[in-house]
Amino acid sequence: MTSATAYTATAADAPLEKVTIERRELGPNDVLIDIKYAGICHSDIHTARNEWGGTSYPVVPGHEIAGIVAEVGSDVTKHKVGDRVGVGCFVDSCGECEACLAGEEQYCFKGVTATYNSALADGSITQGGYSTQIVVTEGFVLRIPDGIELDVAAPLLCAGITLYSPLKHWGAGPGKKVAIIGMGGLGHVGVKIAHALGAEVTVLSQTLSKEEDGKRLGADHYYATSDKETFKKLRGEFDLIINTVSAEIDMDKHMSLLAINGSLVILGLPSEPIKVRGFTLAANRRSLAGSMVGGIPQTQEMLDFCAEHHIGAEIETIAADQINDAYERVLKSDVRYRFVIDAGTF
């Protein structure tokens, strides 16, 4: 067993606190990682505060992990000591179902094992990346190319693949018009990736307060959804709309912006059911869809793509003792655009 320092949530209404946890003994197919940086995802907050239900306390959040290989098991062949690596939203799957065999482990029919708050066969609960070390099966450890610094790479393990996967699946590229709803932790990465894929990129945000940032990161156009004229001007405009916000939006109005055969893809998960009129879908043969991160092969593809195009998250690095303050700032949208914890401050 390996002892690691971590920050854990002990109850829905309790601040995260510094503790010592035990990582499992290194098995023959395992990789021990010295964590250098861990991004803060909104999912971490939802889980820590049991807003989605099902949180098993105590729980260490964090599934945007970047670090260095410290030790490998006897049968490990993909990674070696000193390698720059990352860990994303899951650390295991059945490996046998149709989804897993297709490299779509996130859709494992038997249930993917999340990086934190997942029950294991022995009754223990997975603990995430707000920690100094983690042990992960080699098949779920990603290589971080030299073209990306570890701190800006960490959020790509969730935010990056969450945007890259639907953009690739729905064919974002030259000749395609793509709109990103929301210019936050997810949206700003989506702008960068869609631009690098060659699409014409539009940001749809409630206000124009981040327009300068959007244009700097690769947006060709930027519109405020609080302006009624936006929906008149852009009607039938887009081949693909990616919704990154979890707040409830007027789905009918936003879907009216789709061209014939256009798709609106849900990434942000509102707590209330999504409402849309049947006529809205029938008109222009529109589609409403959803997407969850990406499998291990595609996540590696995304990291390689981002290295090639010099894409990383826009980050604010914090010390470990600032995590609770960072949570409150995330809820106030007071970050541009992702908090990343420096694990060296634990």
286 and 303 inside one domain: no
pLDDT at position 182: 96
pLDDT at position 180: 98
Q: What is the CATH number of the domain that holds 313?
A: 3.90.180.10
pLDDT at position 206: 94
Q: What is the CATH number of the domain that holds 277?
A: 3.40.50.720
26 and 136 inside one domain: yes
280 and 337 inside one domain: no
| Final residue in a domain of this structure, among 290, 305, 322 | 290
Closest CA to 128 of 185, 244, 48, 72: 48
Question: How are beta strands 221-224 and 315-318 bridged, if at all?
Answer: unpaired
Contact at 8 Å (CB) between 156 and 188?
A: no
pLDDT, mean over the chain: 96
| Final residue in a domain of this structure, among 290, 310, 329 | 290
318 and 196 inside one domain: no
The 3 state secondary structure assigned to 223-284 is EECCCHHHHHHCCCCEEEEEECCCCCCCHHHHHCCEEEEEEEEECCCCCCCCCCCHHHHHHH
| pLDDT tens profile 14-25 | 999 999 999 999
283 and 191 inside one domain: yes
pLDDT at position 122: 87
276 and 212 inside one domain: yes
Handedness of CA 178, 186, 248, 226 (dihedral sign): negative
Q: Which range marks the domain in which residue 52 is found?
A: 2-158+294-345
- Category of 53 on φ-ψ map: left (φ > 0), alpha (ψ -120 to 50) or beta: left
Count Cβ atoms within 10 A of the Cβ of residue 324 and give its class: 0-12 exposed, 13-18 middle, 19 or more buried: middle
251 and 279 inside one domain: yes
Residues 122, 22: Cα–Cα separation, whole Å:
15
Query: Between the CA atoms of 162, 213, 195 and 107, what dihedral angle is there, to the nearest 10 degrees?
Result: 0
**Section 249-276 average pLDDT:** 93
pLDDT of 271 strictly over 80:
no
Into how many domains does the chain fold?
2
Least confident residue range of 165-179, 204-218, 264-278, 314-328:
264-278
40 and 187 inside one domain: no
313 and 252 inside one domain: no
| pLDDT tens profile 247-262 | 889 999 999 999 999 9
| pLDDT tens profile 220-238 | 999 999 999 999 999 999 9
74 three-class SS: coil
Alpha carbon separation from 83 to 32, 51, 67, 265, 303 (Å, rounded): 11, 36, 8, 35, 15
| Final residue in a domain of this structure, among 272, 290, 308 | 290
pLDDT at position 269: 82
181 and 98 inside one domain: no
141 and 187 inside one domain: no
